[in-house]
Amino acid sequence: MDTAAFPSADEQQRILNDASTAIKRSAFHMRKAIEDDNMRDALKHAAGMLAELRTSQLQPQKYYELYMLVFDQLAHLEAFFSDERGKGRSYGELYELVQHAGNVLPRLYLMVAVGCLYIKSLEASPRDVLKDLVEMCKGVQHPTRGLFLRAYLCQRAKGLLPDTGSQFEGPSSGSIQDALDFLMTNFIEMNKLWVRLQHQGSARDKEKRERERQQLQDLVGKNLTYLSQLDGLSFELYRDQVLPRVLDQITSCRDDLAQLYLMQALIQGFPDRFHLGTLEALLGVLPQLQPGVKVHSVMAALMDRLAKYASAAAAAGSDPRVIEELAAIDAFSKFKAAIASIITSQPHLAAADAVEMYTALLSYAGSVHPGVLSYVDEVLAAAQSTLGDRGPGLGGDVRAERQLVALLSVPLVKYGVSASLELKEYTPLTRLLRYSTHKELAVKIVQRVLDTSVAPPAKTATNGDPSSASPSSASPSSSASPPAVGSIISSVAQVISLFRFIAPLVADPDSPGEAGGAAELDDEDLDEEQVLVARLLHHLRSPDPDTHFHILRTAQSQLLAGGPRRLRTTLPALVFGGLALHRRLAAPQKQQQKKQKQAEEAEEAEGRKEAEEADGQGADGAEEKGAGEGEGEGAAAKDGGEKEEAEEATGAEAEVAKPTVITCEALLQFLLSAIEPLYGGPAGQPVIAMRLLLACGYAASEEAHLELLSYTFFEEAITLYDEALPDQRTRAAALYDIIGYLQRCRVFGPEHRDSLTSAVSSACMRLVSRREQCRALCAAACLWWQQTQTGAAAGAAAGADKAAAADKAEAAGDGLEAAAAEGGGGKAEAEAEEGAVAVAGVYPPVRDGAKVVALLRRAAKVAAQAKAQYGSTGRVRDAAYLGAYLELLDAAMRMWDCEVPGVDLELVQELIDRVQSDLAAGVQPDAATARRWQSTLSYITASAAQHKERYGKLKLPPAAAA
């Protein structure tokens, strides 16, 4: 064995160049001798060319270059030998002739070249020639030279083996057994030479030498590839002869690189059905491998190969028994036991490698047994047992931690989030992660819940029976389900598990000082995280109202534990989830009231019908008949309408078939307490809190008809407005929100309505800008003149607004938009109700013209004060008082259109004249006010052109009239 160091790289390059030159020179003379038909000289120069391969000074990579030069030239020599046979010289003579070469290596190359032609000609028994060649090659024991010699023999003998059904098979020629013996012998000898390559050269070049060995591994693997391609290789031959000899060679070589490559070549090279029948033998050899072998990659490759085989067979329907066979041999338990055995036999096995094996096992279970959750818990429990003593962060092993995240991600992909929440062993494993890593996993879990492209997971079984849920049970035709909208978490237990899974997103780390908490994040990064949680809250709901309410309470308790900064983003989404439940609870009450009203109307119609029949008894027959037909048609039409309305109520009745414990009142009380943290302090979002209170107050009024609760919500909103909104622009916008919600509420009696409207009027006067005061007072005037909608328009408006509100609330990214959506959707519904049914506890629309006129006059007084301020200061910016008059003019025209008593032509004309006179006096309005004035005049002109008598009587400025 040559253990001397190789020459330097430059010296090796010189040796390679010299040897290449010598090979080309000898090849030239060989080809010339072939042209001259000179056998002696051709063999002499061929031997000289092959003698260059006897060098020991080149590393395998450079030796390979020499080998390829020689290999290309040997093709000319083989063609020459074929021509010689045509001239009457037998291959037997040539086979003996080339054995006279002086050196062993050239002699063996020439013997292989002639021997393969000898076999192909059928002049000799393939069995004898192949056995002779494979045994003669043992004469070269130098690792590099011997490896390439046997690689040449293996490549040239391909297609000449006595395989079953080939032309070389026969009683005297050989059988499949001889082909197996040849390839196995050559494989064993090549593997020995390949392993010995690690001992060539100096110790300091070991790493480089291992890389070169890795580049030569395919030369050894070709033998196994040719073995697997034999037509006569049956499962019995593989099980009884091939596999035992290969495994024996793998375990006996005791080389990390060789064992890893050969195991992978064995798994990837031979058919899947062979592995299925020899699974125990394959798994049994794994603990015997060297500690340095990456056993986890071998296990992963084997499990992945069988999982793909089973899935493909089941999907294609070619062999549905594959999964049954895997279940029959209990492959899962065998894999699990093998992993445990490997971990026990290798105490120093890296944690990441152990977790990788469990990840592969979990992927295998998810592919072969997609519905058996008990297998998942078994794998997670085994991983916990292996890693539990390492503590959080796995002792700082970042690679193991990443692999653990991959393990915990497998159930989410294979089984879905809803099924994963049933796993008992999932949460203990998450505690082994650092806070920051666990947060990354939590984000993946939330995104998986929100992912609308995820198809519903396969049916799961928890009894451990693989046959109860398999890939073959899923038919492509069963996909006629509604489009996926993400996962819905519909039980309290699942919600509790979910918050345990995503704990880092809703709470700070348990250990003080651990990185990643809310204190280390700025508001933007924290809000980005919490928006995911807010969106998640909309996926926590149940068809059962009581369960839904318990889910909301559970979510609230989890969110409150996360600290005030997180609540700013998540609480609004929770409140809107509660309002969605409130709409479901209030719908049956509306249906009941609607049915009661219909029954009363039916009784009144019946009474009117009987009275009309009694009055018409003295009329002639024709009149009676005509009356009867008319009444019959009317009754039929009414009955048809009642039937349609009854059918519309069916859905709501079905939903309340089960008695519901939770009431609208209790739910609204819960929402009131849920909003309180947003009033102020670190979680303070007073504007959002106020709008949430308004949305809840409106729901209490128009959906539940609870006057006191609705009053409480509006009272809290107004108090919050007074105490927590210092910015004037914000106060003005918030005041319009209050007026908008309150104007559509009809549950308040005179006392409560007077109290709220007085507070709103006072708030209008506390605005600093007189123009804003005037605008707010004009808006407040609408509180005393409520509008109604009737007929199909109301129903259509309710449906459209409700859909828009639901879309906005679903995003929950912006609490302001969500509040507006909630209020708008409910308002349209209330308007539709007003036009259809008189609901108990709801007052008729307020129509108090005197109060409207009083507020408009108060606004006019404010506008006059603004004008006086302009006259006192003369400042250009104070000319904005014209905008106040325009606000008043627009409000007066709206009330005039609504025919409010006291708002008449004289009032509108007075306001027009006042603005026009000031403009004529030289007051210069700002650009926005000027555009608005022109827009108002254009509206009046267009209205007058449409034959509206009232607008035609208005006197406009000459320019506008023209």
The answer to whether the CB of 471 falls within 8 A of the CB of 315 is: yes
Q: Give the pLDDT confidence of 844-864 residue by residue, as tens digits.
A: 999 999 999 999 999 999 999
Give the residue, 456 or 208, on which the prediction is more confident.
208
Please tell me the distance from the alpha carbon of residue 671 to that of residue 427, in angstroms, as a whole number.
Answer: 30
Question: What average pLDDT does range 908-918 have in this prediction?
Answer: 91
Q: Is 80 exceeded by the pLDDT of residue 841?
A: no
Give the residue, 187 or 817, on which the prediction is more confident.
187
Q: Is 80 exceeded by the pLDDT of residue 514?
A: no
pLDDT at 948: 67
Please tell me the distance from the alpha carbon of residue 351 to that of residue 336, in angstroms, as a whole number.
Answer: 16
Beta bridge partners, 847, equal: 785
CA 691 to mean position of chain CA atoms: 33
> Nearest 5°: phi and psi at 181?
-65, -45
Q: Give the pLDDT confidence of 123-153 residue by residue, as tens digits.
A: 899 999 999 999 999 999 999 999 999 999 9
The answer to whether the CB of 57 falls within 8 A of the CB of 34 is: no
Distances (CA, A) of 46 to 42, 76, 77, 193: 6, 10, 8, 26
Cβ-in-10-Å burial (0-12, 13-18, 19+) of 958 comes to exposed
The answer to whether the CB of 176 falls within 8 A of the CB of 185 is: no
Which helix (H) or strand (E) segment holds residue 70: the answer is: helix 60-86
Number of C-beta neighbours around residue 93 at 10 A: 13
Q: Give the pLDDT confidence of 671-685 residue by residue, as tens digits.
A: 999 999 999 887 788
One-letter identity of residue 334 = K
Distances (CA, A) of 20 to 29, 212, 564: 14, 21, 78
pLDDT at 145: 94
Which positions ≥6 away from 17 have C-beta within 8 Å?
none
Question: What average pLDDT does range 815-838 have in this prediction?
Answer: 39
pLDDT at 657: 47
Q: Is 60 exceeded by the pLDDT of residue 735?
A: yes
Please tell me the distance from the alpha carbon of residue 121 to that of residue 770, in angstroms, as a whole number.
Answer: 114
Question: What average pLDDT does range 154-160 have in this prediction?
Answer: 93
The answer to whether the CB of 91 falls within 8 A of the CB of 85 is: yes
Confidence of residue 202 (pLDDT cuts 50, 70, 90): low
Q: Give the pLDDT confidence of 312-358 residue by residue, as tens digits.
A: 887 766 666 788 888 888 999 999 999 999 988 888 888 999 999 99
Q: What angle separates helix 331-345 from helix 351-368, to the nearest 10 degrees?
A: 180
Number of C-beta neighbours around residue 758 at 10 A: 10
Q: Give the pLDDT confidence of 699-725 residue by residue, as tens digits.
A: 999 999 999 999 999 999 999 999 998
Q: Give the pLDDT confidence of 279-307 residue by residue, as tens digits.
A: 999 999 998 999 889 998 999 999 999 98
Q: Is 80 exceeded by the pLDDT of residue 174?
A: yes
Please tell me the distance from the alpha carbon of residue 879 to that of residue 868, in angstroms, as a whole number.
Answer: 10
Helix (H, G, I), strand (E, B) or coil at 260: helix
Q: For the range 257-260, what are the long-range contacts, defined as Cβ-Cβ under 8 Å and sequence gap of 24 or more?
A: 257/198, 257/210, 257/213, 257/214, 257/217, 258/191, 258/194, 258/195, 258/220, 259/289, 259/290, 259/293, 260/289, 260/293, 260/294, 260/297, 260/298
Question: What average pLDDT does range 650-654 have in this prediction?
Answer: 43
The per-type count for the chain, helices as H runs and strands as E runs, is: 45, 0
Which percentage of the chain shows pLDDT scores above 90?
58
Q: Which residue has the tokens 């605005």?
A: 767
Please tell me the distance from the alpha carbon of residue 762 to that of residue 306, in angstroms, as a whole number.
Answer: 78
pLDDT at 126: 94
The answer to whether the CB of 823 falls within 8 A of the CB of 694 is: yes
* pTM (2 d.p.): 0.76
pLDDT at 595: 62
Q: Is 80 exceeded by the pLDDT of residue 934?
A: yes
Helix (H, G, I), strand (E, B) or coil at 898: coil
Question: What average pLDDT does range 175-179 have in this prediction?
Answer: 95
Q: Give the pLDDT confidence of 599-608 residue by residue, as tens digits.
A: 666 777 776 7
Handedness of CA 175, 178, 179, 180 (dihedral sign): positive
pLDDT at 67: 95
DSSP per residue over 95-140, as a string? Answer: HHHGGG-SSHHHHHHHHHHHHHHHHHTTSS-HHHHHHHHHHHGGG-
Which percentage of the chain shows pLDDT scores above 70?
81
Confidence of residue 837 (pLDDT cuts 50, 70, 90): very low
Please tell me the distance from the alpha carbon of residue 935 to that of residue 932, in angstroms, as a whole number.
Answer: 5
One-letter identity of residue 103 = N
Please tell me the distance from the alpha carbon of residue 450 to that of residue 513, in angstroms, as a whole number.
Answer: 31
pLDDT at 815: 36
Question: What average pLDDT does range 3-29 have in this prediction?
Answer: 89
One-letter identity of residue 956 = L
One-letter identity of residue 849 = G
Q: Give the pLDDT confidence of 682-691 residue by residue, as tens digits.
A: 778 899 999 9
Please tell me the distance from the alpha carbon of residue 255 to that of residue 901, in angstroms, as a whole number.
Answer: 103
DSSP label of 6: P
DSSP per residue over 591-635, as a string? Answer: HHHHHHHHHHHHHHHHHHHHHHHHHTTTS-HHHHHHHHHHHHHHH
Q: Is 60 exceeded by the pLDDT of residue 453?
A: no
Please tell me the distance from the alpha carbon of residue 332 to that of residue 279, in angstroms, as a whole number.
Answer: 11
Handedness of CA 429, 432, 438, 441 (dihedral sign): negative
> Nearest 5°: phi and psi at 5?
-70, 150
Taking alpha carbons only, the member of 603, 407, 417 closest to residue 500 is: 417
Residue 622 token pair: 């024709």
Q: Give the pLDDT confidence of 398-408 residue by residue, as tens digits.
A: 999 999 999 99
